[in-house]
Amino acid sequence: MKIIILGSSAGGGFPQWNCNCRNCDGIRKGTIRARARTQSSIAVSADGVNWVLINASPDILAQIQATPALQPGRADRDTGIAAVMLMDAQIDHVAGLLMLREGKPLELYCTPSVWDDLNHGLPLASVLGHYCGMRWHPIAGAADDLSPVAIPGIAGIRFIPVALKSKAPPYSPHRQQPRADDNCGLLVENTASGKVLFYAPGLGEIDPRVETAMRSADCVLVDGTLWTGDEMIRMGLSAKTASDMGHLHLYGTGGMIELLDTLGPRRKILVHINNTNPILDEDSAERALLSRHGIEVAHDGMEILL
């Protein structure tokens, strides 16, 4: 099973169009050593031909161009993307659906609350009804529902959504009235090797179910949005903490690094990195600290084999 990180950045990408924080300014001017990153998305395949796109980033067209495997070229009009699965209804995970409108109806796998947002707060479902249309396949409606999702045309992979606590998007009526299925993570299992990936680009709180899912995985690919909870406030860029946005901070008490340290030996990779995060600077003390803890930082084009 191959997992390709199509986009490793949080909403806004890196550098962000209107941002002159140390990182964004530094990568533009070449004063820091860092890689540009597009917005959050991955693709998964067992046969290298049929792929599931997990999250549809606003940068999807550039991501497809950068990933030849997604265009197998079997017909005049063709794609390697057999289905799209969404972890939430955030703009950085759904805006790319609009860019896929020229093809066949999109086979869309998401929870009832995410589908609800795509029919009301951000009505991409009705808009796309005038183009390719989408066929909705519900996943993980209830917090205790860990049933595997079978995707036609995708053999050899089991997908198990894991409901988790993060935040519905700012435009959603569920933002202040959270539902159990506003956000999920995903266990992705290679049924031949038994190897498992746990993917959660937006993870606000670790409950026992999420912890169990992480412990069951050979590789965890998880939320690395912000180094500290108040990073954007201290930089004068936002009034929101990580937790206001549904993201666990990385460093310090109750943070992601502390949790990853308890997981023992397995591959640990951070994804959905915000442009303000000091770990993007490859020469930073924060990046060195991650290395000492055996934690990797995802970059666009990174491949994981399981």
- Residues that bind Zn ion in the complex, under the rule CB under 5 A: 16, 19, 21, 24, 275
Based on CB atoms, which residue is closest to ligand MLT, 39 or 190? 39
Instruction: Provide the minimum distance between the beta carbon of 21 and Zn ion in the complex, in angstroms, as a whole number.
Output: 3
Instruction: Provide the minimum distance between the beta carbon of 10 and ligand MLT in the complex, in angstroms, as a whole number.
Output: 5
Can you say whether residue 13 is alpha, beta or left, with left for phi > 0 and alpha for psi between -120 and 50 degrees? left
Say if residue 15 is preceded by a cis peptide, omega within 30 of 0.
yes
Question: Of the candidates 9, 16, 57, 90, which one interacts with Mn ion according to CB under 5 A?
Answer: 90
Contacts of 216 (CB under 8 A, 6+ apart): 187, 196, 198
Based on CB atoms, which residue is closest to ligand MLT, 92 or 181? 92
Contact 42, 48 (CB under 8 A): no
Contact 200, 217 (CB under 8 A): no
Structure tokens at 252: 């310090």
Instruction: Provide the minimum distance between the beta carbon of 90 and Mn ion in the complex, in angstroms, as a whole number.
Output: 5
DSSP secondary structure string, 124-153?
Answer: HHHHHTTTT-EEEEE---STT----B--TT
Instruction: Provide the minimum distance between the beta carbon of 23 and Mn ion in the complex, in angstroms, as a whole number.
Output: 17
Question: Of the candidates 24, 163, 245, 295, which one interacts with ligand MLT according to CB under 6 A?
Answer: 245
Piece of the chain touching Mn ion by CB under 5 A; list 1-9, 86-94, 236-244, 287-295? 86-94
Question: Of the candidates 59, 92, 117, 182, which one interacts with Mn ion according to CB under 5 A?
Answer: 92
∠ CA 116-120-124, nearest 5°, is: 90
Cα–Cα distance for residue pair 83/66, rounded to 1 Å:
19
Q: By CB under 6 A, what part of segment 55-74 binds ligand MLT? A: none
Question: Of the candidates 202, 204, 224, 278, which one interacts with ligand MLT according to CB under 6 A?
Answer: 202
Q: Does 91 bind ligand MLT (CB under 6 A)?
A: yes
Q: Does 92 bind ligand MLT (CB under 6 A)?
A: yes
Q: Does 275 bind ligand MLT (CB under 6 A)?
A: no
Give me the torsion for CA of 253, 274, 117, 142, rounded to 10°. -40
How many positions of this chain bind Mn ion (CB under 5 A)?
A: 4
Cα–Cα distance for residue pair 80/285, rounded to 1 Å:
40
Instruction: Provide the minimum distance between the beta carbon of 239 and Mn ion in the complex, in angstroms, as a whole number.
Output: 17
Instruction: Provide the minimum distance between the beta carbon of 232 and ligand MLT in the complex, in angstroms, as a whole number.
Output: 11
Contact residues for Mn ion (CB under 5 A)? 10-11, 90, 92
